[in-house]
Amino acid sequence: MCTQFAGTVTGSPLDFFIDGFGRTAPSRSAFVAGPWGAVASLSPELFLRRRGSVVTSSPIKGTLPLDAPPSALRASAKEVAENIMIVDLVRNDLGRVAVTGTVTVPELLVVRPAPGVWHLVSTVSARVPLEEPMSALLDAAFPPASVTGTPKLRARQLISQWERYRRGIYCGTVGLASPVAGCELNVAIRTVEFDTAGNAVLGVGGGITADSDPDAEWAECLHKAAPIVGLPAATRTTPARLASKVR
């Protein structure tokens, strides 16, 4: 489930992106601009990478604040269960287009740092026929499993009922695709959308399960947002900062 931080930006969207990139060092960043506004994605998550016939996805599921010991992530039955559940969903998604028997999990439950938080990351790999178009791969895997939950169709139906705002680009994907180079697509989390008037929206959220604690889930949202919106955990001396309020 997701909520939004909304506000205005001092400086241009590109300044915001450059400063955010410098502060958070995202591994899957992207910036897109047009007459409609701009998108600054400071994402740490890989949705899909394709090189030839090899397809890789690295879902993030499981989060704790950086002041917690990283070992606590793998010791948490809730966080581990969430990650494995999403790994199974990604395996199923890729299996719809993969060569039979080629879906593997080369990394499972790896703890990695991100701005403000520790994340639990796994990697799923598969081989697809070379002639398989990217459109078929996207049809099979989109939207990213880590931002819907499972079963994916029912989860999407509930999200549309319960969330007050459309997600927009948030929880979608930004990246590049080429018939020669393949594709590299992120999961558009830690992503700010700008309109032409300087208004900005940042979506944040977390996975809800039967074991979820509401206060802990809200704290997780704040930890994820803080490095971007300039909350107390973030540096405020920046050329472009989102002055935010929660919707």
Q: pLDDT tens digits, residue range 97-108? A: 999 999 999 999
Residue 202 confidence class, pLDDT cut points 50, 70, 90: very high
Contact (CB, 8 A) for 232 and 244: no
Buried b (16+ CB within 10 A) or exposed e, 24-58: bebebbbbeeeeebbbbbbbbbbbbbbeebebbbb
Above 80 in pLDDT, residue 234?
A: no
Tell me if residue 174 falls in helix, strand or coil.
Answer: coil
Q: What is the pLDDT of residue 104?
A: 98
Q: Supply the pLDDT for residue 222.
A: 86
Give the mean model confidence (pLDDT) for residues 80-87. 94
Residue 209 in this model has a pLDDT that exceeds 70? yes
> Who has greater pLDDT, 197 or 91?
91
Q: Above pLDDT 90, what percent of the chain?
A: 55
With 60 as the cut, is the pLDDT of residue 156 above it?
yes
User: Does the pLDDT of residue 187 top 60, yes or no?
Assistant: yes
Read off the pLDDT band of 178 (50, 70, 90): confident
129 token code pair: 């026929």
Angle formed at CA 168 by CA 171 and CA 141, multiple of 5 degrees: 40
* Confidence bin at 150 (pLDDT 50/70/90): confident
In this prediction the pTM is: 0.86
Residues 68/223, Cβ–Cβ less than 8 Å: no
DSSP 147: G
pLDDT over 70, % of the chain: 93
Does residue 171 have a pLDDT over 80?
yes
Please state the domain extents for the chain: 2-246
Supply the CATH classification number for the domain 2-246: 3.60.120.10
What would the pLDDT profile of 19-44 be if each residue is shown by its tens digit?
889 888 899 999 999 999 999 999 99
Q: Helices (DSSP H) in the chain: which residue ranges?
A: 13-24, 71-75, 77-95, 134-141, 152-162, 214-229
**What value does the mean pLDDT of the chain take?**
88
Q: Is the pLDDT of residue 241 over 70?
A: no
* pLDDT > 50? residue 233: no
Which residues are identified as catalytic? 45, 61
